[in-house]
Amino acid sequence: MPFSTFDLSPELLKSVSHFTEPTAVQSAAIPACLSGSDILATAATGSGKTTAFVLPLLQRWLSAPHDRPRALHTLILVPTRELAAQVRDVVQLCSQHLPEKIKIVSAVGGVSINPQMMALRGGADFIVATPGRLLDLIDHNALTLSQVSALVLDEADRMLDLGFSDELKRILDLLPEKRQNLLFSATFPARLENLAADLLHQPARIQIETQAEDLPPIEQRAIRVDKDQRTPLLRHLISTENWKRLLVFVAKQYTADHLSDKLRRNGISACSFHGDLSQGARHDVLSDFKNSQIQVLVATDLAARGLDIAQLPVVLNYDLPRSAVDYTHRIGRTGRAGEKGLAISFVTAESYAHFCLIEKRQQLHIAHEQIPGFEATIAPPTSTPGSGNGGIKGRRKSKKDKLREAAAREKRNSPS
C-alpha cells in the first residue's frame, strides 16, 4: 500500500516520496488520524510512529482556518529534549513543500526560556514540548492551550517513568474539552491504561507486534566480570575490538562523569551525557559523537530513547538497566536502518539475578562468557531473580517523586 492511497495533499506526499511504502503503524494510524478519531498506538521504537501522526496532523492543519495571530493547532508532548528535536525535524521535513509556511516551536528545558518566549510571539501552529518547559511558558503568559485541536503524547510510557504525571494532569486541565487525542508508546504498562482511559474517547487501538523478520540484526553478548574490573575490561575491549564509536550506558550521572574521566586519562576520547548538562552542551557532545570526534559516549538512560545515531556499531551496558523494556530501548540504539549492531552487557555477581530476569522477560538465551584475564572471581548470590537491588522497575522512586516528598516534609516541619 503506497502513501498515495491516503487522503494526503500532493505536497505532503512529495515529502515522503523517498519512502517505498508506509510501515505497519503508519498504515493503521494515518487513516484513523485523518478521520479525527482518538488513537492509542503501541509500536516498537524505530517503527515510524512519528511520521504516522505528523503527516495526518499536517493534513488536518491544512484544512483548518489560519487566523492571525496563529492559534495553536497541535501540541506534541515528549519526555526528553532529544526526542523533541527529532520530532521537530520530522514536522519540518514533512511540511517543507506545503504552500503555506507552518510555524513550529520547540519548547524544552536546559536552555534559556527567553528565545522560546520570543518565538511564540504571534502564536504558533505546532509546538513540540517537554511538559515542564511548556508549563513554564504558560506561567509566563507566553501561550495559551485554549484552542488546541490535537494533542499528541509521544513515548507516553517514558513520560510516566520520568515522573511527569502531575505535569500532564495540569496540562490536560488547560486544554479544551473538544480535541483529538493521540497516545503513542513503545510499551503499554498498566499505569498507562489509567491515563488512556481518562484521556481518550473511543480510541482506535493500534498494536503493532514486532515480527522476528523485523527485528534489527543485533548480536547480543553477556560478559561475566567482577564489579571493580568493569573499567579495565572496558578499556581492554576498546583496545582489542577496534571500535570506532561506542555508546556506554551507566545508572548514575556521577558514574557517567567518573567513567568518562577515567577513559580520557587513559588516552581514550570520551564524554559523559546526562540530564545535568545544559542543552547547548548536550547538543555539542552529540554532534561530536556523531561526527566521530568522540569515540566513547557514556550516558544515563536519558539517551535510551530519542537518539538516532546513524551507523552506531556498539552499545555496552556498563550498568544494567532497571527493566527489560529499558534494555530493549538501550540496545535499540545500534542496529538501526538495517545496519548490523552489537550489544554487550557486563554482568557482575550483584547484577546476575537481574540479568537473568531480563533474559526471562525478553525470552532471550544469551551465553554468559568470560574474557581471559578478566574472569569473574565472585560467585553470584543464590536468590530469586529480581529480589535484590536494581531489580524490577517501579520499586524505586523517581527523582521528581523524591523532590516532592522532600518539599512535603519541609512544609510539615516548618513552623506555622
pLDDT class for 391, splitting at 50, 70, 90?
very low
Neighbours of 390 (CB within 10 A): 17
Query: At residue 155, what is the residue type?
Result: E
Show Cβ contacts of residue 408 under 8 Å, excluding neighbours closer than 6 positions. none
Task: Summarize the confidence of residues 215-232 as an average pLDDT.
Answer: 90
User: Confidence band (pLDDT; 50, 70, 90) for 393?
Assistant: very low
218: cell is 543485533
- The CA-atom distances, in angstroms, between 110 and each of 116, 120, 179, 275, 278 are 12, 18, 30, 9, 5
- Number of neighbours of residue 173 by Cβ within 10 angstroms: 8
pLDDT at 318 over 80: yes
- Can you tell me the mean pLDDT for 41-62? 90
Q: Which stretch of 34-43, 194-203, 300-309, 337-346 has the lowest confidence by average pLDDT?
A: 300-309
Whether the per-residue pLDDT at 389 is higher than 60: the answer is no
Q: Average pLDDT in the 30-54 region?
A: 90
Per-residue pLDDT at 386 exceeds 70: no
Number of helices (H) and strands (E), helices first, in the chain? 15, 14
List Cβ<8 Å contacts ≥24 apart for 113-118.
Answer: 113/137, 113/140, 116/142, 117/142
Confidence of residue 18 (pLDDT cuts 50, 70, 90): confident
pLDDT given at position 210: 57
- DSSP one-letter string for 14-69: HHTTTSSS--HHHHHHHHHHHTT--EEEE--TTSSHHHHHHHHHHHHHHHS---SS
pLDDT tens for residues 239-265? 999 898 999 999 999 999 999 999 999
Q: At residue 230, does pLDDT exceed 60?
A: yes
Q: How is residue 240 annotated by DSSP?
A: H
pLDDT digits (tens, 9 = 90+) for 258-295: 999 999 999 999 999 988 888 788 889 988 998 999 99
- The Cα 51–Cα 308 span in angstroms is 15
Most confident of 194-198, 206-210, 268-272: 268-272
Are 192 and 185 in contact by the 8 Å Cβ rule? The answer is yes
User: What domains does the chain contain, in order, with CATH numbers?
Assistant: 3-207 (3.40.50.300), 216-369 (3.40.50.300)
Q: Which residues contact 310 (CB under 8 A, 6 or more apart)?
A: 290, 336, 337
